[in-house]
Structure formats: C-alpha cells, structure tokens
Chains A and B, each alone.
Chain A
C-alpha cells in the first residue's frame, strides 16, 4: 500500500507475522524512519530527543528503559493500588457531585491515569491540566504544525522549569530516583519525563473510557462481571484485546532489504502492524469479534510485543482493574445519558476512544 507522500509501505494483519516483525532485528523503531500510515502534518524526521527511548533501538533504548523498569514491575505496580484507589474515589466523588449527565471522560477516565502518573513523577497538580492538553494536541493527527509546535514548546517550557528544580531538590519519586542515580544529563531527564507523561496520560485514559463504553454496550458481559468480581483480571485483558485503542498500530522500518513473510521489504520501507486486526485474527481467536470476558486466551498484542512492549502495562492493568471495579461498585445503575450513536469518537487520534461519555445513574 501507499503511505503518506507515496512511499510504499506494508500492513500486517496476522498475529504470527506481527510477533515476528516486532522482534525482528532488521526492523527499527527509530523515529527518523517512521512514516505514519495515515495522512498527518505531524511528521518527525529527525532522531528522537535524548531520553525519549520509545523511538530508539537497542542498545540506546534498553539503556534508558532499564533505569525505570524497576518502578513498573508486576509487584511494584500492584503495590500502588491504595494510591490508585484513593485517586479513583476522589474522581468518583467529583462524578457524583457533577450529577447525572456528567462527562465520564473528563471527570474520570482522563483524570485518573494522569493524576497517578503525576504522583509517580512528582509533577504538581497545578501543571496537570495543561500537560494533558499538550499531550492531546500531539496525539491528534489533525493538529496543524503551529498547534503542534505550541504544544511542544508548552511541554518543554514545563520541563525546563520542572526538571532543574528537582535536580536541586530530588524527591522520593521516579524523577528523584533517576536524578540520584546520577547517570542522566538534564536533557536526558527531560526526555525521560516527557516519555513517561506522554506514555501514561492518553493511553490508559482512552482504555478506561472505551472499556466502560464497551461494557455498557454489552450488558450481559457487565452483569457477568458484577456477579463474579473474580473475572476482573480476565475482563481487563479481553477489553485490551477487543478494543485495541492503539488503532494505528506499531510501525517499524527496514534497516536493510529483508525477506519477510514471503515478500521483499526494501531498506527504508515501513511496515505497520494493524494491531486491531491482529487482535481479531480469526486464525488466532475463536469468535474474534465477540467481547467475551470469560475468554482464557490472553495472548493479545494490545500492549505491543518485543522490546518496546508497553513499559507501563502493569500500571495500566492496575488502574483499569481498580477503576472499573470502583466505578461499577459505586454506580451499579450506570448507563449512557444519550443514545449510543450520539457518542463522538476520537477518530483522528493516535489512540482511539470517545471524546465524551455523558453518563447517568439512579440515586
């Protein structure tokens, strides 16, 4: 297929080949070679900023990633449950106060993960909303270049105020730990902080909102979950598979001419893994288009695969589990306040989700 600007590119829709591509040594995740499979004015053709490890290859990637992975292990992220519960309940208090008709995206889905990440890095609450807007602008494919530049400068304005101030006064949080580790320059610390913020804000927020929307649209599944809370872990995995909010997939480019899946991929050509298609590959999943929280096969690629597999995945899992549980517990009669087909979707974003989700409930 033809990518932006007429560059030839490839799309993977099968599970087996997706896993193969994402672990293939001849394909790079470096920002300078990636071309978006859909048109956007926001093209980045230079190397990633120092510390922005998601868009680099090993060994650069693993050097940075290893410095923070200790904070995101299965065990450590589960230990964060009490903090996450507190934030979830505070946001649910706000939802209650706002009353029926309130927008679940704004009051709940968008606020919970951004507050959690801000606490983990030590970002003051007063900065959160504006950071949220910058991340949003950068994730919107229809943003214009001036809009994106304004967001970039807003972000870097914050980082140049925030990071040096913490270098003088490191706290007991991820950034403090990185500073005390003494291995990173100021520039690298800024790149790492930006990566953690952009990685955490939008992704989990869209999953929270989309998951609620999906459950409300599948009342049989929601009822099953409310009857047996033990199903929550499996439900979260199934929602990650079924919804696959990274709907534009993961892209890599060929570092050399490669024979792959019976095709010759030329050096520089881009291959995109269509994650939503892969996660509904009929060769891999039975009834792939069905949301079934009782499914026991959890090998989905909703969080990627290979060395770039989502760093924050277990944190996201904990937020989703705690979030859905508390929401349906406190608002057992929760339902959409408008007909389902009036819900607007963010189709022009890197991550898919509803732009607003007006909800109501019985008092």
Chain B
C-alpha cells in the first residue's frame, strides 16, 4: 500500500491532518500537505480511504495493490 500527496493540487484544507495526524501534517509556510508516512500499515486502509474521500481536491492518492 502506498500513498502519494500532490502539493501542487492541495488547497491546504487539512482534512488529512485532521483525520490521520500520524500520517499527514501541513507545512507551516503554506499549509500544504506533508506526508509523514508513505507506506503505512495495511490496518490503516479504512482511515486512508476516508482521507481520500474527504480531501477536497483529490490531492491524496492511494495505491492499494498488495506488495506495492
């Protein structure tokens, strides 16, 4: 499982940092997403799906295929 976060697309709405503060933070400078862990435990899949659905700009992508 792999996460990518596109800082260009991000509008700094902070849904990711709100829902999963251990995986995402926001930069102090412009609030854009900072990925803290790109390959988290598969146990976090539900949380990550929620982050993806609530990110208002589609900046966060999740590759779920096993072994990725």
Contact = CB atoms under 8 A, between A and B. Distances in A.
Contacts of B21: 74
Interface string B18-48: 1001000111111110000000000000000
Chain B at the A interface: SS class: loop
Given A23-B57, A72-B31, A309 B26 contact: no
Interface string A290-313: 000000001100001111111001
A226 interface: no
Contacts of B57: 23, 306-307
A73 B56 contact: no
A65, A304, A307, A310 — which one has the most chain B CB atoms within 10 A of its CB?
A: A307
A66 interface: yes
Contacts of B27: 70, 73
Contacts of A171: none
A149 B4 CA distance: 48
Interface in A286-334: 298-299, 304-310, 313-314
How big is chain A's contact interface, by range? 20 to 34
A22 B17 contact: no
A65 B12 contact: yes
B50 interface: yes
Contacts, number: 63
A69 B56 contact: no
B12 A66 contact: yes
A255 B34 CA distance: 33
Given A62-B11, A74-B18, A307 B28 contact: no
Given A66-B12, A299-B53, A314-B14, A73 B58 contact: no
A23, A69, A70 — which one has the most chain B CB atoms within 10 A of its CB?
A: A69
B25 A75 contact: yes
Given A62-B11, A65-B12, A314-B18, A73 B28 contact: yes
Given A75-B25, A308-B11, 13 more contacts: A23-B56, A65-B11, A65-B12, A66-B32, A70-B29, A73-B26, A73-B28, A74-B17, A74-B21, A306-B11, A309-B11, A313-B13, A314-B14
6 contacts: A66-B12, A69-B30, A73-B14, A299-B54, A307-B56, A309-B13
A-B complex: 5 closest residue pairs judged by Cβ atoms: A69-B31, A69-B12, A73-B26, A74-B17, A307-B11
